[in-house]
Amino acid sequence: MTIESIEAHVFRAPIDVPVRAAVGSFSNRPAVFVRVAAADGAWGWGEVFCNFPPVGAEHRARLTRDLVAPMLLGKPSDDPRGTWRMLDEGLRRMAIQAGEPGPMAQVASAIDQALWDMRARRAGRPLWRVLADAAGTAADGADGRVLPYASGLGPDKVAETALAKQKEGYAAFKFKVGFEPDRDQANFRDIRAALGPNARIMVDANQAWAPDVADARIAALEPFRPYWVEEPLAADEALSDWRRLARGTTLALAAGENIRGQADFQAAIDNGHLRFIQPDVGKWGGISGCMEVARYARIAGLTFCPHWLGGGIGLAASMHLRAALGPAGMVEVDANPNPLRETVWTLPQAVNEDGWITLPDTPGIGVEPDLAALARYRAPY
C-alpha cells in the first residue's frame, strides 16, 4: 500500500467584494487541493493553506509537485503520523535554507490530511470516528456533531451579515476588528443590538495591535462582552507580553492559527494566556499535529477550536477533527462568498435548528471534489 501519485490542483475564484482584515485584503479566493493515491487504488484529499497572500497558491503547488512528492512516492500510505513526522523532519533544514518554513509546513499539512482521509476511506468509516478511536475520545461524547460559527464578518455590513447567518441557523459569530477604534466599537454596538444581549460574539484582531496599545483596545470592547478576543497581538510577540495582556483583562484570549511547531504550541499553552487554542490543519501539522495540540490543550484545560478560512476540503477536515474530540469547542465557517468552498461542500444547508451540524457517515472526510465543476477556476502552474 505504497504512495503511487501526488497531485496538486490550483484553483482561483474571482469575488465581487474583496475580503478585508487588519492584516490585509484579497480580491480572489485561491485553493490548492492535493490528491494522494496509493498502489491499491485508495486515495485521499487534503488542502494547503494559501488564502493570504493569494499569489502564493501556485508556489505551494509547485512545492508539492517538485519537492514533496518525490520524497514520498513509494513510501507507505497507511501511516499518516509516521509520514508527517518524517516530512516534518525531512523538510526542516530545507525550510531553513529556503527561508520558507510556512509554505513547506503547509504542504506537509495537506499531505497529512489526505493520508488520514485515505485511511478512513479504506476503513469505510467517517474520519471523525477513526480519529476518535485513535485518540480514545469516544467516551467523551464524540458523536459526529460540531458547532459551527459564522466567521470573517466585516468590517462592512457586520450586523446585516450576522443577521443573514443567524437565519441560516448559526448561533455564534465572529467579526473583524483591528481597524480604527471608533469603527470597531461602532460595529460591535451594531452587531450586539442586532443579535441581542445573549448572542455569542467573538472578535478577531488578526494580530493588529502592538503590545503597548492592545490593552486599551481590548478595554474599549469589554462593555460589549465578546466571547473571546482573537490574535490581539502578533503571534511572535514575547510570551511575557501575551501573559501581561491576559492578566489585565477578564476577557478570554484566543490564538493558534499562526503558531507553528509542537514546541511553540506547548510554550503558548504553558504560558497560560490563552483559553482557546486554534491550530489550522492547512498551516501546520495537518490532522496528526493538530491532534497532538488538542491532547495537550485538553490536559491544560483549554478549549480546542480549529481555525479554517479556505476551501471546502480543509473545512471538512477541520470539522472531522473537532467532531472526533467531543462536543466542546467550535469550528469557524467563513461568511464571505467562496466558490471553492461552496462548490466542494455546502455546509450551511446542514446547520440544524440548534446551530449544530451532524457530519454524515460517508467514508473519509465525506468530500470528493468535482474537478469538472471546478474547471473554470483552474489556475495553471
Q: Are 126 and 366 in contact (CB under 8 A)?
A: yes
Query: Which pLDDT value is given to residue 350?
Result: 56
Domain span including residue 92: 2-126+370-377
If asked whether residues 21 and 91 sit together in one domain, one would say: yes
Same domain, 117 and 143: no
Q: Do 299 and 192 belong together in one domain?
A: yes
Q: What is the pLDDT of residue 348?
A: 45
- 173 and 118, same domain (yes or no): no
Q: What is the rounded distance in angstroms from the CA atom of residue 156 to the CA atom of residue 158?
A: 5
Query: Is 137 found in the same domain as 97?
Result: no
For residue 363, being part of any structural domain is answered with: no
Pair 262, 339 in one domain: yes
Q: Are residues 327 and 267 in the same domain?
A: yes
Same domain, 122 and 144: no
- Which residue reads 495582556 in cell numbers? 245
Cα–Cα distance measured from residue 226 to residue 174, given in angstroms and rounded to the nearest whole number: 9
At 135 the pLDDT is 80
CA distance 53 to 42: 33
| Dist CA 18 CA 25 (whole Å) | 6
Q: Are residues 60 and 86 in the same domain?
A: yes
**CATH assignment at residue 219:** 3.20.20.120
Q: Decide if 47 is inside a domain.
A: yes
Position 209 in a domain: yes
The whole-angstrom separation of Cα 322 and Cα 297 is 13
Whether residues 310 and 177 fall in one domain? yes
Shared-domain flag, residues 262 and 352? yes
Same domain (yes/no): 35, 81: yes
Domain harbouring 11, CATH code: 3.30.390.10
Considering the domain boundaries, does residue 49 fall inside one? yes
* Residue 317: closest CA among 289, 337, 275, 356: 289
In the chain, the number of structural domains is 2
Q: How far apart are CA 365 and CA 117, in angstroms?
A: 6
Prediction pTM value: 0.96
Q: What is the pLDDT along the chain (381 residues), one digit of tens a residue?
A: 899 999 999 999 998 887 878 677 788 999 999 999 999 999 999 999 999 888 999 999 999 999 999 999 999 999 999 999 999 999 999 999 999 999 999 999 999 999 999 999 999 999 999 999 988 766 567 889 999 999 999 899 999 999 999 999 899 999 999 999 999 999 999 999 999 999 999 999 999 999 999 999 999 999 999 999 999 999 999 999 999 999 999 999 999 999 999 999 999 999 999 999 999 999 999 999 999 999 999 999 999 999 999 999 999 999 999 999 998 899 999 999 999 999 998 764 556 668 899 998 999 999 999 999 999 999 999
Beta-carbon contacts of residue 236 (< 8 Å; ≥ 6 apart) = none
Domain for residue 364, yes or no? Answer: no
In a domain, 108, yes or no: yes
In a domain, 292, yes or no: yes
| Domain assignment of residue 365, yes or no | no
